[in-house]
Structure 1
Amino acid sequence: AMCRRPAQLPAPARPARSWLRVPRLALRHRLSALSSGVCRPAPWHHRPIAFLGFLLSVNALRPLANRDPQVALYRTFPTRLVSRAWGRLNGLDLPTWLRKPIYSLYIWTFGVNMQEAAVEDLHHYKNLGEFFRRRLKPAVRPVCAASCLTSPADGRILHFGRVQNSQVEQVKGVTYSLENFLGPPSRPSPDPASFQDRLLSSPDRALFHVVVYLAPGDYHCFHSPADWRVELRRHFPGSLMSVNPGVARWVKELFCLNERVVLSGQWQHGFFSLTAVGATNVGSIRVYFDQELRTNAPRYSKGSFQDRTYVAPGDQVKTGEGGVALRKGEPVGEFNLGSTIVLLFEAPADFTFDLQPGQRIRMGEALGTL
């Protein structure tokens, strides 16, 4: 059964004051009002920065979808360089007096609910990076105990369903290759079966997927969606194109082109993987139990990937030994801004999703039932 969300705390009433005519005082008054309490998402015409970003990332680039050479031109944009520069900027400490106005503008633009933050005082966050990676109060994200599979992050459901013919849908009508996304098998097999079939531990089971898109205003940490063991980490350096749903509709195999970190292993029903996909300004992907992982390096070889196994030679994975054991709801890693999480998992054929395309979801809420 689907776990319900906890009751929301009422937002404090906004003081009924008219705008001051002096521009500087009006701006100061507006920022002060924004930072005084919980800010909820405003209509697009009241969120100029977000609206401008949407136009640039989607509408301005949509004509490029008609011709492959122009899509290739978009792929040549220095998104990795821009992302590294953005990361440096995020790490610069802000003067105490400037923190509240800057963070208030971000809160207003992206509808951040600071009442959920473990530390609500904006002066506490020394730089933008700390603010992006803010922690939440434990009570605001309860993990559904009734479901074996829960959402790994706050975000929006882009797509979900069964994997067919080793092809996965990134959005409706746009697919990518399962093998290109996960990479070749770590152990070659003479079995002529399809890549999808080789992942399954039983022919009576099926392979499912779900894609969760994290917007810039969302909580940026991701958690374990189930009880499982991570056996392998595979890091694919690559592009850092926008993963905005509008862009994902016209850039084929976007998730295979972007930098990503694939964690794969086993859960109670067989194969299980969680992939953190990077995006523009999200070059830094951190996995808490893997200190060796370094993303968005200045140079990389196209098509290359690096593996790290968590299973020692003497471990018997099939008996529950070896690998990194994760519990449902346990923190796994974080992004520097919004991005995308892709889950691929084996389950009985009667597994059903309790989801709707495009719906908002929170970390810990149920994804489906058996």
Structure 2
Amino acid sequence: MAKKILRLMTELSSRKSISKIMGRFSHSRVSRYFIPMFIKTYQIPALEAEKDIHEYRSLNEFFTRKLKTGMRPIDDSEHSLTCPVDGLITAMGPISSGTILNVKGQNYTVKDLLHHSPHLELYKNGYVFVLYLSPTNYHRIHSPVTGTKVESEHIKGRVYPVNDFAMTHMPSVLSRNERLITYIKHTFGEIAVVKVGAMNVSSIKYSDSDVTAWDKGDDLAYFEFGSTVVLLTENGTFTPSSDLKTGDAVRMGQYLGRMHISDQSTPR
């Protein structure tokens, strides 16, 4: 019974109207008074922030903060795929015939996640990382490769939370929530950076919507409050680091594995 009640509450709270109310408050000048409490509650390393705490004009401005230069070293080896965010690996592994296996006990299809995009053929036997950002984390998203934008797609959807309960008990949250997908062409193929919205995320935004090329580690986008990034690599182009496993905390710029020319015949 308790799970049914929590599921109902989650369904109700996934309405965009409620999320927008929270978004308006987080942008307001009044919300800046909550920044110290927010830092204390979530044990945020505020000294990493680009500016002093009193300089942020709203809770949202603090939440989408940049970091001081050098806070996140970027692995710059030629073949490396680097982590786009600070977060927790909630799933990782090869994609099997278009199915992403065992994300908090659920399977997802690439077709649904990518909203039936023509790009989906490139990822049916690729590799996936699901990276969860809690309120504690730094919430900017950075390019994991050096490359150019092939396409960007914004998919309207719900704003279910992406916490453990929702991911475990709500069906297909990652494929039902709002998503902003960036397809990036790089030396060894293509990647898809899927930014998934969540409850109280009033929007997912590009840092600069006019930019069409990035160096590895460049600022790509940001969440207004916590969510998840799903990172997909093209079929046969990636070998993961043997040091990583589901449940590991990772940082932006960290080495995730080695990119290489495809060892599969990929339809284009």
The TM-score range, normalised by the shorter chain, is: 0.7 to 0.9
Q: Rg: which structure is higher?
A: 1
CA shift for structure 1 position 350: 6.7
* 1:364 is aligned to 2:241: no
* 1:132 is aligned to 2:63: yes
Whole-Å separation in 1 of the counterparts to 2:15 and 2:214? 33
Q: After the TM superposition, which parts of structure 1 deviate over 6 Å for at least 4 consecutive aligned residues?
A: none
RMSD, aligned CA: 2.6
1:214 aligns to what? Answer: 133
1:332 is paired with a residue whose SS is: strand
What residue identity is the alignment partner of 1:326?
W
Q: Deviations over 1:117-171 (max 9, x none)?
A: 111x321111111111111111111101235201101111111110012111362
What residue identity is the alignment partner of 1:216?
P
2:113 aligns to what? Answer: 181
Q: Which has the higher strand share?
A: 2
* 1:109 is aligned to 2:32: no
1:40 aligns to what? Answer: none
Seq. identity, %: 29
CA shift for structure 1 position 245: 2.7
CA shift for structure 1 position 71: 5.0
- Name which of structure 1's ranges 166-175 and 275-284 shifts more when overlaid on structure 2: 166-175
Q: Pick closer, same or farther for the CA change 1:246–1:73 going to 2, 3 Å.
A: closer
TM-score (norm 2): 0.87
Q: Pick closer, same or farther for the CA change 1:181–1:350 going to 2, 3 Å.
A: closer
2:265 aligns to what? Answer: none
8 Å CA contact 2:126–2:235 kept in 1: the answer is yes
* Unmatched 5+ stretches in structure 2: 260-268
8 Å CA contact 1:117–1:135 kept in 2: the answer is yes
Whole-Å separation in 2 of the counterparts to 1:92 and 1:128? 8
Whole-Å separation in 1 of the counterparts to 2:222 and 2:240? 28
After TM superposition, list the pairs within 5 Å mapping 1:1-370 onto structure 2: 63-64=3-4, 71=7, 74-94=10-30, 99=33, 102-119=34-51, 121-146=52-77, 148-169=80-101, 171-186=103-118, 198-199=121-122, 206-290=125-209, 324-346=212-234, 348=236, 351-353=239-241, 354-369=243-258
1:249 is paired with a residue whose SS is: helix
What residue identity is the alignment partner of 1:344?
L
2:262 aligns to what? Answer: none
8 Å CA contact 1:176–1:252 kept in 2: the answer is no
CA shift for structure 1 position 253: 1.3
CA shift for structure 1 position 345: 0.8
CA shift for structure 1 position 206: 4.4
1:19 aligns to what? Answer: none
Whole-Å separation in 2 of the counterparts to 1:78 and 1:116? 32
| Residues paired across the two proteins, number | 257
Q: Deviations over 1:255-292 (max 9, x none)?
A: 1110011111422222310011000011310012327x
CA shift for structure 1 position 361: 0.8
CA shift for structure 1 position 76: 4.3
What residue identity is the alignment partner of 1:149?
L
8 Å CA contact 2:98–2:125 kept in 1: the answer is no
- Name which of structure 1's ranges 174-183 and 345-354 shifts more when overlaid on structure 2: 345-354
